[in-house]
Chains A and B, each alone.
Chain A
Amino acid sequence: MGQIILGVGDYGASNSPADDVKTFALGSCVSVIFLDPKTRTAGMAHVALPDSSINKAKAGEKPGYFADTAIPALLAQMAKFGCDKRGKGMVVKLCGGANVMDSNDTFQIGKRNALAIKKILWSYGMGAVAEDLGKNFSRTVSISVSAGQITLSSPGKPNWQL
């Protein structure tokens, strides 16, 4: 069984039933998950920040890092497995985007990430069917490609499905 481990700003996809696609300890980062039932392909991007305009060079080198560059990059990656280029027919799920306990807005990067991602998905005519976003704990997330099943974990909590 293969494990495709994605770090911050990485994205990847697989259609090999033996694979898991996994990312560790999402804090304010958001994991964007695309499942394509037709080709049985699963993809994920580990998005750190909402907007690539702060550093174009970084966006060129790691498009998965920013919401606005991650989604086109992940779609292009999935197209290599025969998925629709604009994401038609794909199931979208989102998780992560935690926030520290804060009474003012500046540190709500998790919230801003989720919002930016939803906006871009909307521009593709896509929307999430399931999400586990926000709150104040970190999440590790794993997709099993064979079942298209998403498992989340966080220390001190029983694992749960999305």
Chain B
Amino acid sequence: MKLSATKQLLDLYKEQSALEDYQSGVPRWCTGCGDNAILTAVQRLCRDEGLRPEKTVFVSGIGCSSRFPHYMKTYGFHGIHGRAFPVAEGVKMSRPDLTVFVNTGDGDCCSIGAAHWIHALRYNMNMTVFLHDNQIYGLTKKQASPTSPIGTKSNTTPRGSYLDALNPLTVSLGVSNVSFIAQAVDWIPETLYEIVKAAYHHKGFSFVRIIQRCPEWLPKSLDPWLQDPERVQLLHHANGLQISQGLSRVYKNQVEHDPLDIHRAREIASNTDIIPVGILYQNREVACYEDTRHSGALRTVEAIKKNFNAELDKYSV
């Protein structure tokens, strides 16, 4: 039976109107795990933006956070540890029509997948990336990660971790072709949602580092920031986030920051005492690798055949 276009559109609308339509299974994260907040924000984004579930792909690596795609009723690719970026790039290159998201952990992205991360920034393919940064290896039961603050006690560093933490923001801001860098925290749902939304709307590689609580392994590590709103700094700008009045009542440490100003962005990013929250950098002018690479040449049978025969002519004896 054929449905009229209007009816189909109405069905579409109906289909997407509920959050449940993007929910799949019951998340198996620990109670209080920051991943739950990220999931809620992203499901809300999908609903609000009316994303077609069949045209949306969530790609992840391995880790607690990389379970994410299983909880979305979209297409998903839960791959191998550290390789979410190249898988997602392949998806985007072969199918620019799909909306691609990446969920990756601090071990996944900043350690085993670090090479891919740098290059993913440089490729600047149009996808939205969530770095679930709990500053620890969650799934493998508490080992230090590159983003663990120095002195973090873990199963591989019982006397405290030895090295200064790697800062995903400054690293990202140092890569050529970087086009969108933001930071959010899982415990301020409102800005988390706004940042996720801005990232989604940015055309290019939108990288959102989300500071994520892991009550299982580091129950207290973020307390200083949770308990003292002054240590969270909200970034706002006409071209960035706007902060609601309600939020302003709690978070008084605010600063205006133009996301086009990369030097200032780097300065803000370097601050580790205070967690900056907002859009650090956005440049809409950077070309996307998939656009650069798709030549527009039509891959018709005739064209392929003609080209093939022309090549053979060159080698004829």
Q: Do A and B belong to a common assembly?
A: no
